[in-house]
Amino acid sequence: MGNRSKDLLQVEHSHPSSSRESSLLVGKNDSKPLQQKSYLQGNPITVPFPKSEVLGKVKDFIGVISEANRNLRLYAKDKPEEYDIEVLTGNESEYIKMDLMLGIADLHTPESLAAAEAAIAGCQSVINRNSTSSSLEFEGSSEEEEDEEEDDGGEDDDTRQSGSHVRHKDSELQQDDFLSALLRSHQKKKPSKIIELSVQSGSDCSIRSMAMATLRREGKRLSPLISPRPIEALRSALVPYQEEAHGLRYISTQAVRNRMKSVKSIQKITKAMKMVAASKLRQVQSKAENSRGIWQPFTALLGDIPSVDVKKTVLVTISSDKGLCGGINSTSVKISRAIHKLNSGPDKEAKYVILGEKAKVQLVRDSKKHIELSITELQKNPLNYTQVSVLADDILKNVQFDALRIVFNKFNSVVSFVPTMATILSPEIVEREAEAGGKLGALDSYEIEGGETKSEILQNLAEFQFSCVLFNAVLENACSEQGARMSAMDSSSRNAGEMLDRLTLTYNRTRQASITTELIEIISGASALEG
Amino acid sequence: MSSSAAVPFWRAAGMTYITYSNICASLVRNCLKEPYKSEAIAREKVHYSISKWSDGKSEKPTIRSDVAED
């Protein structure tokens, strides 16, 4: 029985083709005894037929095949572009369709087959069902497949009878069986059809030989692509899919719950900050409103001339030390920049004196050359006049000025702040303006008591005016800061509440969906058991 | 009458009107009776940190504070 197939194998070996293909052939060879056995058992009354002429044809054809293959190789070497199956010109009239799936193609030993099936069935452990009988390839598959095989065997009988008319020798049967089993097993082992071939016509031998050649080429092409450890590759490809499917069953609400927790704590913080800002605002608001009475007499006497044109301007920008208070700091910085631009030129210069951390941070970026002084930590204690007057004294001692311009946010209401500039003139400029007339012209009508000169009085007045106006400005700005912080915290806790509502809705929906799914599963399982 | 004569003196000492008035205010506060005196003194706490800038760089800030002293 082995002679013919050995011949065939030797033909294979004489042309050193790919190991892939020869191993395939060995695998099929091993399966033959079973095939034959079942065939013989199924049809015990087989009568030996007279010697077929097809066998002789086959014998001759082996030589023809090998010759054709050799020629094919030679031609392929000369004109590789014509024989490259990868390149399609679109003019192909006839072709054999081969749908291959990588990784599964080399499951030709029973162990690997069992492992692959175990993996596909979702079973993690590889059960080596046929470790003892390595030749029983088809038994490695499930019973279902064996049934199929029996059906296939019946069909095969028909095919064989119509294809090659007479069979009377084991060897012939085996040869034929071998080829058809090879093709059939390929169709079987791969989920998608590998070869769509009609094995019916009379000249099936030639078709088969063509198929063999094609297989050989295909095998060569595939061999580098197929991983040396196919089972591992198969398993690793399958495992993430399984995990994904596993995760889909149980929708996790953990992420939503964590987010809800964090939003809730943020809301708590913003609410607390709002309360603190509200109580601070109440304290500072009365102070600020009372302090307005301090600067009003000065404005009545010395006036507030924002349009005065002087050489040395000092901008006192008032801001807060802490953030999270809306746009009050950036507003005062913007106004300060604009005034700085207005009051600087070829013969004029303007300098900054910055109160508060936030304006410092913003002004350092583009105008750090013009910063003269920066003052922070002003609001550590509750604001009082002594503190601000000492600060004003410090500023007066450290800067040279013709006019001081204080930029701050005047408190109007909890939600409205007016960026304001207060101007304090130096005594010299006051005198100049008084001489020029205008608003300060009435200053000369005042009578001066005591031994001081007018300039001395004006100096004292200017200093005191600055400290009073600065005190009011600091208070107004602190008041605006607290009001802005209050409204900012109010809106942020409202937003946090909205977000929390949305998250709660999502959470409850997800929970309800999972409960519903579980109920459906239980009910359908129960009804399936009953039915 | 004494105040009119005093002006040149504190000016000569390098004081501004603000310093002068602050000293006057603290004197008045010290004239208060207890418990108003300590209350008024505790209210007027000075604390801030000031730093001079030169050539676009801030010098080391100095802290003006009477909180630790009191």
Give me A453's structure tokens.
């000169």
Which residue from A391, A398, A452 is facing B52, i.e. has the nearest CB? Answer: A398
Which residue from B18, B44, B52 is facing A384, i.e. has the nearest CB? Answer: B44
Q: Is A456 on the interface with B (CB under 8 A)?
A: yes
CB A325 within 8 A of CB A485: yes
Q: Which residues in chain B have their CB less than 8 angstroms from residue A380's CB?
A: 47-48, 67
Least confident of A190-194, A302-306, A345-349: A190-194
What is the per-residue pLDDT across A131-173, written as a single tens digit (0 to 9) for each?
Answer: 443 333 444 334 444 444 444 444 444 444 444 444 444 444 4
Give mean pLDDT, residues A27-52. Answer: 55
pLDDT at A18 over 90: no
Q: Do B17 and A459 touch (CB under 8 A)?
A: yes
SS (H, E, C) B17-60: HHHHHHHHHHHHHHCCCCCHHHHHHHHCCCEEEEEEEECCEECC
Long-range contact pairs involving A494-501 (C-beta distance under 8 Å, separation at least 24): A496/A263, A496/A264, A496/A266, A496/A267, A496/A270, A497/A267, A499/A263, A500/A260, A500/A263, A500/A264, A500/A267
Which residue from A377, A392, A451 is facing B47, i.e. has the nearest CB? Answer: A377
What ipTM was assigned to the predicted interfaces of this complex? Answer: 0.90
Choose from A26-30, A99-103, A122-126, A320-324 the range with maximum mean pLDDT: A320-324
**Residue, of A221 and A431, whose pLDDT is higher:** A431
Give me A167's structure tokens.
């069979």
> Residue type at A89?
T
Beta strands in A286-428 (DSSP E): 312-318, 349-355, 371-376, 403-413, 416-425
Q: Which residues in chain A have their CB less than 8 angstroms from residue B47's CB?
A: 377-378, 380-381, 387
- pLDDT for A449 equals 78
Q: Which residue has the tokens 């929906």?
A: A509
- pLDDT for A228 equals 45
Give mean pLDDT, residues A27-50. Answer: 54
Report the DSSP beta bridge partners of residue B64.
B48
Q: Do A386 and B45 touch (CB under 8 A)?
A: yes
- pLDDT for A43 equals 59
Give mean pLDDT, residues A241-247. Answer: 45
pLDDT at A94 over 50: yes
**Residue, of A59 and A125, whose pLDDT is higher:** A59
Least confident of A327-336, A475-484, B27-36, B58-67: B58-67
Strand pairing class (B47-54; B62-65): antiparallel
**Residue, of A95 and A67, whose pLDDT is higher:** A67
CB B45 within 8 A of CB B70: yes
Nearest to A320 by CA among A361, A367, A368: A361
CB A135 within 8 A of CB A235: no
pLDDT at A122 over 80: no
Cis bond before residue A240 (omega within 30° of 0): no
Give me A492's structure tokens.
């942020």
pLDDT at A208 over 70: no
Of chain B, the end-to-end C-alpha distance in Å amounts to: 34
Q: Do A386 and B58 touch (CB under 8 A)?
A: no
CA–CA gap between residue A205 and residue A199 (Å, rounded):
9
Give mean pLDDT, residues B49-64. Answer: 88
Of the pLDDT bands very low, low, confident and very high (cuts 50, 70, 90), residue A492 is very high
Question: Between the CA of residue A116 and those of A104, A120, A122, A266, A473, what are the distances in Å?
Answer: 8, 6, 10, 53, 82
What is the per-residue pLDDT across A353-402, written as a single tens digit (0 to 9) for each?
Answer: 999 999 999 999 988 889 999 999 988 888 999 999 999 999 999 999 99
pLDDT at B25 over 50: yes
Give me A245's structure tokens.
């499917």
How far A488 CA sits from the closest chain B CA (Å)? 27
CB A370 within 8 A of CB A340: yes
Of the pLDDT bands very low, low, confident and very high (cuts 50, 70, 90), residue A507 is very high
CA B14 to chain centre: 14
CA–CA gap between residue B46 and residue B43 (Å, rounded):
9
Which residue from A389, A450, A456 is facing B18, i.e. has the nearest CB? Answer: A389
**Residue, of B39 and A37, whose pLDDT is higher:** B39
Give me A284's structure tokens.
């500072």
Q: Is A453 on the interface with B (CB under 8 A)?
A: no
CB A368 within 8 A of CB B53: yes
> Residue type at A472?
N
| Superfamily of A260-442+454-493 according to CATH | ATP synthase, F1 complex, gamma subunit (3.40.1380.10)
Alpha helices by DSSP H, A403-453: 427-436
Of the pLDDT bands very low, low, confident and very high (cuts 50, 70, 90), residue A8 is low
pLDDT at A252 over 50: yes
pLDDT at A125 over 80: no
Nearest to A308 by CA among A334, A343, A332: A343
Give me A90's structure tokens.
């679109």
CA–CA gap between residue B42 and residue A12 (Å, rounded):
108
Report the DSSP beta bridge partners of residue B50.
A375, B62
pLDDT at A529 over 50: yes
Nearest to A316 by CA among A108, A509, A473: A473
CB A170 within 8 A of CB A1: yes
CB A437 within 8 A of CB A445: no
Q: Do A464 and B58 touch (CB under 8 A)?
A: no
Give mean pLDDT, residues A246-270. Answer: 82
Q: Do A393 and B18 touch (CB under 8 A)?
A: yes
- Return the domain boundaries, chain A: 2-85+94-248, 260-442+454-493
Q: Which residues in chain A have their CB less than 8 angstroms from residue B51's CB?
A: 373-375
Which residue from B16, B26, B52 is facing A393, i.e. has the nearest CB? Answer: B16
For A393, name the nearest residue in chain B, comparing CA atoms only: B18
- pLDDT for A5 equals 54
Give mean pLDDT, residues A70-78. Answer: 86
Q: Do B16 and A396 touch (CB under 8 A)?
A: yes
Of the pLDDT bands very low, low, confident and very high (cuts 50, 70, 90), residue A336 is very high
- Helix A454-530 with A328-342: angle, nearest 10 deg: 140
Average pLDDT over chain A, rounded to an integer:
74
Nearest to A195 by CA among A177, A213, A220: A213
Give mean pLDDT, residues A178-191. Answer: 50
